[in-house]
Amino acid sequence: MTVKLNEQELIPVLSTENNLVSYEEAYKNFKWEDVEKEFSWSKTGKVNIAYEAVDRHVDEGRGDKVALLFRDAIREESYTFTQMKALSNKFGNALRSLGIKKGDRVFVFMPRSPELYVSYIGSVKIGAIVGPLFEAFMEAAVKDRLLDSEAVAIITTPALKSRVPVSELPALKHVILVGAEGELGEKELSFENLMAESSDELDIEWVDLEDGMQLHYTSGSTGKPKGVLHVHNSMIQHLQTGKWVLDLKPGDIYWCCADPGWVTGTVYGMWSPWLNGVTSVVRGGRFSPEDSYQTLEKYKVTVWYWAPTAFRLLMAAGDDLVKKYDLSAVRHILSVGEPLNPEVVRWGMKAFGKRIHDTWWMTETGAQLICNYPSMPIKPGSMGKPIPGVYAAIVDDEGNELPPYRMGNLAIRAPWPSMMRQIWNNRSKYEEYFRLKPWYISGDSAYKDEDGYFWFQGRVDDVINTSGERVGPFEVESKLVEHPAVAEAGVIGKPDPLRGEIIKAFISLRAGYQPSEELIKEIQEFVKKGLAAHAAPREIEFRDKLPKTRSGKIMRRVLKAWELGLPTGDLSTLED
Ligand code: WT7
């Protein structure tokens, strides 16, 4: 089906942005092989992403630079690359002393803390594969992941260890506790003791570019979470997207708010900034609008990467709050994880005087693929264009490329450097993504416009068909959140004998608004007027909170299950 377009808005490149790299020039002339020359392994032949991200800066005279600026409610600490090298060396030695070796799976399960990063880097240095877990995971979620991957060790805290069912995990040999007090239980070890006993000089495990490095579990539309395996080769794309898309320069103070339990928090919270030798800010604790602005102000953050759900909360907190803080250091803002509503982009221009650059990628893609470059005009609501070195297309269900404005499967020509190399223990799930050669099928539906911009429409299975009209739930949700009463909205297709499906919206209201029949009518009118009559939700239900993944995506699948009175399936990635 062909998409009808509203008049398109265009936000031109701002004078404060980096205009040096022309997107078109880069796209035409770029080869990934050129990036390889930037790594020390291109000369030495010795490969390890952790070496390139940490130790290399020490060996090349940049060791005094701050790698990590950490702050939570209790601690405020900073670590230079030299300190990070020494601490991760100690941890690598500690793991080796326990007999852990290349290829073994090691999990980190703790709140954001310096010890988390030390453990992560130390594990990768000895060639282990790290699986990060959100601290909010409950026992069943932890068990699924450790069982599937046959993890041999987990680094966690006394508060979280009760959710690690050691006796049901035959492969698990060690539980390393950060901040343990008193007696240690079976298989338990003290992180601090291990560190104290270990040398800060380590023989790094040199690996192959194709060796496993991290394992991120992610939910699909069906079944248990899948273990997405990434290899050391990903560093090529981590480095380059940091330069192009994050626009990182040596003097930057960069803040990616994502937790490392999510791929954004490892790739863009750690690897990409550190490969570029840039200081990364990590803020522990819960999100609040005040705290976000305080952190930006306090550390004079220059580049800021966060998610639409957070930007919407900031927007709801109001413009007066923004004005209380000095955010003049902020140069570049980016977003990822779910559709960035045009309304949020417009608000960003008003509140910060900056463009919020949308980026599209997935756990499976391992790094950004479709983005708004600093050097290109932004069309609010569009994810941007494929990065140089990547070819994206809209294809039909047979893999034929579709012309502009036709909605279809968002596909990427395989391979690219950071592409996943395996779904752990599940060859057939992996192959499903690549069933239409030469494409990787993302599971998202989208269209491309005549200028080559990509527009997200929904997950393939979320697209609504009402009376023969196809409606992307994102479009409706975007419109709904433009209404002053609406904080967040999730839209699903509800089966209807007459129309196939009707559109149903679940809405949480902004402070100061109460649910009422009148408000329902007003919101329906608003969408009818603002978007299209057929796109207006026939049913609206108010809820205090909407079910969201930890990465902020509204879980339409859960809304649908509520609606149909069906089981909600695997909820391990649910926020609360
Ligand atoms: C799914 C992947 C890798 C970090 C992102 C989350 C949705 C992601 C966007 C965007 C619209 C987006 C897609 C995708 N998504 N970015 N810019 N606009 N949708 O990773 O949890 O693996 O989710 O998130 O549906 O398939 P993830």
Residue 4: the pLDDT is 54
pLDDT tens digits, one per residue of 426-477:
999 999 999 999 999 998 999 999 999 999 987 776 768 776 565 778 878 9
Angstrom distance (rounded) from CA 507 to CA 488:
6
Ligand 1 proximal residues by C-beta, below 6 Å = 218, 263-264, 336-339, 358-363, 383, 442-444, 456, 459, 551
Ligand 1 atom with least separation from CA of 264: 4
- Give the range with max mean pLDDT: 132-141, 418-427, 552-561: 418-427
From first CA to last CA, the distance across the chain in angstroms is 38
What's the average model confidence in pLDDT over 137-162? 92
Residue 82: the pLDDT is 98
Residue 19: the pLDDT is 62
Ligand 1 atom with least separation from CA of 361: 3
Cβ(139)–Cβ(114) below 8 Å: no
How many angstroms separate the alpha carbon of residue 293 from the centre of ligand 1? Answer: 25
Q: What residues form DSSP beta bridges with 401?
A: 395
Share of the chain above pLDDT 90, in %: 77
How many angstroms separate the alpha carbon of residue 360 from the centre of ligand 1? Answer: 6
DSSP character for 468?
Answer: T
The closest alpha carbon to 336, from 551, 187, 63, 36, belongs to 551
Residue nearest to atom 19 of ligand 1 (CA): 338
Q: Which residue has the higher pLDDT, 380 or 479?
A: 380
Best mutation site among 338, 447, 453, 554 for ligand 1, i.e. most ligand atoms within 8 A of its Cβ? 338
Question: Where is average pLDDT lowest: 140-149, 153-162, 288-297, 407-416?
Answer: 140-149
Examine the pLDDT at 220 and tell me if it is beyond 80: no
How many angstroms separate the alpha carbon of residue 338 from the centre of ligand 1? Answer: 5
Question: Where does residue 163 fall: left (phi above 0), alpha (psi -120 to 50 degrees), or beta otherwise?
Answer: alpha
Angstrom distance (rounded) from CA 357 to CA 303:
11
Q: Which residue has the higher pLDDT, 278 or 458?
A: 278
What's the average model confidence in pLDDT over 28-46? 96
Residue 461: the pLDDT is 66
Give 139-154 as a 3 state SS string. HHHHHHHHHHHCCCEE
SS3 assignment, position 239: helix
Residue 140: the pLDDT is 73
Q: What is the ipTM of this complex?
A: 0.99
pLDDT tens digits, one per residue of 499-554:
767 999 999 999 999 999 999 999 999 998 877 777 899 999 999 999 988 777 88
SS3 assignment, position 83: helix
Residue nearest to atom 27 of ligand 1 (CA): 362
Cβ(436)–Cβ(401) below 8 Å: no
Q: Which residue has the higher pLDDT, 224 or 521?
A: 521
Angstrom distance (rounded) from CA 11 to CA 22:
16
Examine the pLDDT at 576 and tell me if it is beyond 90: no
Cβ(510)–Cβ(316) below 8 Å: yes
pLDDT tens digits, one per residue of 74-109:
999 999 999 999 999 999 999 999 999 999 999 999
Residue 572: the pLDDT is 67
Residue 473: the pLDDT is 86
Best mutation site among 230, 271, 345, 360 for ligand 1, i.e. most ligand atoms within 8 A of its Cβ? 360
Examine the pLDDT at 574 and tell me if it is beyond 70: no
189-196: which pairs have CB atoms within 8 A and are 24 or more residues apart? 189/98, 191/115, 191/119, 191/155, 194/90, 194/91, 194/94, 194/97, 195/87, 195/90, 195/91, 195/94
How many angstroms separate the alpha carbon of residue 350 from the centre of ligand 1? Answer: 26
pLDDT tens digits, one per residue of 171-194:
999 999 999 998 999 999 999 999
Examine the pLDDT at 236 and tell me if it is beyond 80: yes
Residue 17: the pLDDT is 79
Q: What residues form DSSP beta bridges with 454?
A: 384, 448
- 385-386 and 370-371 as β-strands: parallel, antiparallel, unpaired? antiparallel
219 pLDDT band (50/70/90 cuts)? low
How many angstroms separate the alpha carbon of residue 165 from the centre of ligand 1? Answer: 31
Question: Where is average pLDDT lowest: 6-15, 73-82, 144-153?
Answer: 6-15
Residue 532: the pLDDT is 75
Question: Where is average pLDDT lowest: 36-40, 218-222, 429-433, 437-441?
Answer: 218-222
- 174-177 and 188-190 as β-strands: parallel, antiparallel, unpaired? parallel
221 pLDDT band (50/70/90 cuts)? very low
Q: Which residue has the higher pLDDT, 378 or 468?
A: 378
Residue nearest to atom 5 of ligand 1 (CA): 337
